[in-house]
Amino acid sequence: MNLDPKWVPMKWPCGPLEWARRNKTKGVGAELKETLEAWAQPAALDLLKGTPVNCLVVEWAEGAPEDSAQQQALKPLLEAGRRLGISFVGKVAAGEGVATVVASARAAGLAAVMLAEPSGPSFDLPVISQFPRDKVAWKSATQIFSSMDNEWPGVKLDTMQGDTAIAGPTGVPWVNSNAWFSLLSDELARGKTRWLDFDPPGESSVAHPANYALAVADSQAYGSRWIISLDDHLRTALLKANPQATAVWSKTCETVAFFESHREWEQFQSQGILAVISDFLGDNGSLGGEVLNLLNRRQVQFRVMERSKALATPTPGLKAILWLDKDAPAADQLGKLLAFVRQGGLVIAAAYWGPSGVTPTNKDPSLDYKIYNIGQGQIAVSEEGFQDPYQVAMDAHLLVSSRNDFVRLYNPEATNCHCSFDPVHKRRLVQILNYSSSAASFVTLWVNIRARSARLWSPRARDSHSIPGLPAAPGTDFNLPTIPVNCALEVEGLNL
């Protein structure tokens, strides 16, 4: 059996191991104990009927005394699940005896194990490697890999720490999103399937802690999959067929089904006017990650490029390059970068490595950059280097200029969007996500081309419908209907 990229994963916390683990930290009340026991029963799988969920992640072994009891307790669930076509992935903690544990998982009929140790002996059961988000071994990551320490997406409410504002000075809502990490992963682990591991917040630090649909959309719109994880209260309420809980679950599944019905979008290429180039290793990785996060929050349309592979192929539509690393480009890349500049492109860098004898200018007092005019383009060099990711992202946004935007959102509130492109069929897709707990209304999507209409897709509607493009000067406005969580526009009649 191989890892199946079509798996739709969900955490299925249950059994003695889960109970023991929780007991160690905060204690388990009678109701939760009942829930953990009930979810180990085959009847609990009724919840999945008619949903796209087809892969359950269960605790299998963590070197605890309860491991054996856990594996015994799961047997009926595994058997019932297999009959329903559900695959199981067992989480196995690192440690001695992993090979034995993996063998037990294989014997029990698990489809794969999820291991925290990326390197180790090979097993006769497929492995999903799991990493902390800042320590992903991109090259050795398995075909499906998982990252931990991700954010629960949504608007962050606690934007003040004492007297210090942690919201952006522009008043833009501070949005938590894993989008940047998905875009980074897409480049550094191309062709591999990413499972984002994050749980609902225990104590609300986001506007709508129960917005599971957004957790799905923020992952899948950017090509990742969220390992669906329900909070204990919701799982208990679902057991009791609480109508509110059922509605939350239905909405979550509706959003998952929406993306499942548009799997082709995962093959579309991210569109960007700015390429962010780095090796994303060590300090470069820390800076790069935060810059990507902030660029995304500023709604800059960017593409991630790993340094060794960057510019190997033509990059149509690219207007600027942010060369994040302190290191100067290698000779062959330098040639490509300078060619890009000479043809009118902009390169933003922390140090100057262009041709000698060019005298820099700085005509914009709001930017501490030296501008080197070379051919038709420019190299903009930060006078202080790249120290503060916030400043780097803000400056890059200004230097690239809104003149080059592919898309913009008006009345965006807490919405953001992701542009991708199908080079085969020449389709442009704009996915719009609403990170607020309130539905977004009166949002206008502007695109930089003339387009008569667009197909609007939303999780609520089974079919798309056409909405008219209104001529703007320049470009086209699309007035969007109310957006509860997400929607997508496929712009038609393009002259790309």
Partner 1 sequence: MMTSLCSRRKFLGAMGATAGVWLARPSMFLARPAPAGRVAVAMCPDYGPQVVTTMAAMFDQLGGLEGLVRGKTVAIKLNLTGGPFDRLGYIPAGMTHWVHPEVVGATVHLLGQAGAHRIRLLESPWSTAEPLEEFMLKANWEPRDFLSAAPRVEFENTNYLGSGKKYSRFMVPGGGLMFKGYDLNHSYEDCDVFVSLAKLKEHVTAGVTLTMKNCFGMTPCTIYGDGSPEDEPGRVPMGGRGPFHTGNRLPSKSAPPLVDRSGSKEEGYRVPRVVADLVAARPVHLGIIDGIHTMTKCEGPWVPGCHHVNPGLLIAGRNCVSTDAVGMALMGFDPMADRGTPPFETRDSTLRLAEQLGVGTRDLRQIEVVGTPISKGRFDFRRA
Q: Which is nearer to partner 1, 121 or 171 (CB)?
A: 171
Q: Which is nearer to partner 1, 193 or 382 (CB)?
A: 382
Contact between 152 and 215 under an 8 Å Cβ cutoff? The reply is yes
Q: Taking the complex as a whole, how short is the minimal distance between the CB of residue 402 and partner 1, in angstroms?
A: 4
Residue of 261, 269, 402, 482 interacting with partner 1 (CB under 8 A): 402
Instruction: Please tell me whether residue 401 binds partner 1 under the rule CB under 8 A.
Output: yes
Q: State the DSSP code for 361.
A: B
Q: Which is nearer to partner 1, 373 or 444 (CB)?
A: 444
Contact between 190 and 183 under an 8 Å Cβ cutoff? The reply is no
Q: Taking the complex as a whole, how short is the minimal distance between the CB of residue 105 and partner 1, in angstroms?
A: 51
Residue of 46, 410, 438, 439 interacting with partner 1 (CB under 8 A): 410
The interface region with partner 1, picked from 59-67, 193-201, 400-408, 429-437 by CB under 8 A, is 400-408
Q: Taking the complex as a whole, how short is the minimal distance between the CB of residue 456 and partner 1, in angstroms?
A: 15
Q: Taking the complex as a whole, how short is the minimal distance between the CB of residue 433 and partner 1, in angstroms?
A: 16
Q: Which helix (H) or strand (E) holds 16?
A: helix 15-25
Q: Count CB neighbours of 55 within 10 A.
A: 24
Q: Dihedral sign for Cα 20, 22, 28, 30, please.
A: negative
Q: Which residues make Cβ contacts (< 8 Å) with residue 313, sequence separation at least 6?
A: none
Residue of 26, 49, 139, 403 interacting with partner 1 (CB under 8 A): 403
Contact between 412 and 380 under an 8 Å Cβ cutoff? The reply is no
Query: Considering all CA atoms of the chain, what is the largest pairwise distance in Å, rounded to the nearest integer?
Result: 76
Residue of 257, 409, 429, 488 interacting with partner 1 (CB under 8 A): 409
Q: Taking the complex as a whole, how short is the minimal distance between the CB of residue 476 and partner 1, in angstroms?
A: 11
The partner residues of 270 in beta bridges, in order of sequence, read 420
Instruction: Please tell me whether residue 170 binds partner 1 under the rule CB under 8 A.
Output: yes
Peptide bond into 474 cis (omega under 30): yes
* Footprint of partner 1 on 462-481 (CB under 8 A): 472-475, 477, 479
Return d(Cα 322, Cα 305) in angstroms, integer.
10
Contact between 178 and 224 under an 8 Å Cβ cutoff? The reply is yes
Residue of 412, 459, 469, 484 interacting with partner 1 (CB under 8 A): 412
Quick one: residue 457, left, alpha or beta (phi over 0 = left, psi -120 to 50 = alpha)?
A: beta
The partner residues of 166 in beta bridges, in order of sequence, read none
User: Mask of contacts with partner 1, 414-453, x by CB under 8 A?
Assistant: ----------------------------x-x-x-------
Of 144, 166, 245, 167, nearest to 200 (Cα)? 245
Helix (H, G, I), strand (E, B) or coil at 342: helix
Residue of 235, 408, 418, 427 interacting with partner 1 (CB under 8 A): 408
Contact between 392 and 369 under an 8 Å Cβ cutoff? The reply is no
Return d(Cα 363, Cα 365) in angstroms, integer.
6
Residue of 365, 425, 463, 495 interacting with partner 1 (CB under 8 A): 365
Q: Taking the complex as a whole, how short is the minimal distance between the CB of residue 471 and partner 1, in angstroms?
A: 11
Instruction: Please tell me whether residue 169 binds partner 1 under the rule CB under 8 A.
Output: yes
Total residues at interface with partner 1 (CB under 8 A): 26
Instruction: Please tell me whether residue 173 binds partner 1 under the rule CB under 8 A.
Output: no
Footprint on this chain of partner 1 (rule: CB under 8 A): 165, 169-171, 364-366, 398, 401-403, 405, 408-412, 442, 444, 446, 472-475, 477, 479
